[in-house]
Amino acid sequence: MDLIGVVDTMFARYDMGGEALDALEKCPGYGTKFTTIRRTVPGFKDLAVAAKRLIELDRCVIVVALGMPGKEAVDKVCAHEASTGIMTAQLMTNTPILEVFVHEDEAEDPAVLAEVFKNRSRDHAVNAYLMIYEPEKLTARAGQGVRQGFANAGPLNT
């Protein structure tokens, strides 16, 4: 049975990993074609090596890496470093790692922000499923302005 990895952080202020796992459990073939494995690390700069270990040591076919960059300027730099690490981990393993970051300042209203956390975590978990098992569904939506967390932008209105 395939293994899909989920890595999240103690630093984030929402249970992103829990949402991703729940969304994956509702995908076709959960428990028969694939199951999930979770790891939690302190902060988002620890995600890359954790995801790489899930791929190389636990043989995950894809990983969803979830984190929350904070509001400060230094957090933005750290987010860049975390992203660069996730990028490199993918190239070293030839395996996709879907980065799911929700910036703490994407919305002021905590209720709105919670929705973004929930939707983006779930949407990208489903994307991970689709990339492995139904990639033609992504191609069918190429160039359609698809978003995760907020409403879709849609194709250019010409």
- Scanning residues 26 to 55, which ones bind its own copies (CB under 8 A)? 38-42, 45-46, 48-50, 52-53
Listing DSSP states for 14-33 in one string gives S-HHHHHHHHHHTSTTBTTT
| DSSP category for residue 152 | -
Strand order in the sheet with 34-41: 34-41, 2-9, 62-67, 97-101
User: C-beta of 119: minimal distance to its own copies in Å?
Assistant: 14
User: C-beta of 74: minimal distance to its own copies in Å?
Assistant: 7
User: C-beta of 78: minimal distance to its own copies in Å?
Assistant: 7
C-beta of 30 vs 40, nearer to its own copies: 40
C-beta of 34 vs 126, nearer to its own copies: 126
Question: Does the protein bind its own copies through residue 92 (CB under 8 A)?
Answer: yes
User: C-beta of 32: minimal distance to its own copies in Å?
Assistant: 25
Binding to its own copies (CB under 8 A): which residues in 107-126?
110-111, 113-114, 117, 124
66 vs 48: CA distance, rounded Å: 10
105 Cβ contact partners less than 8 Å away, ≥ 6 residues apart: 71
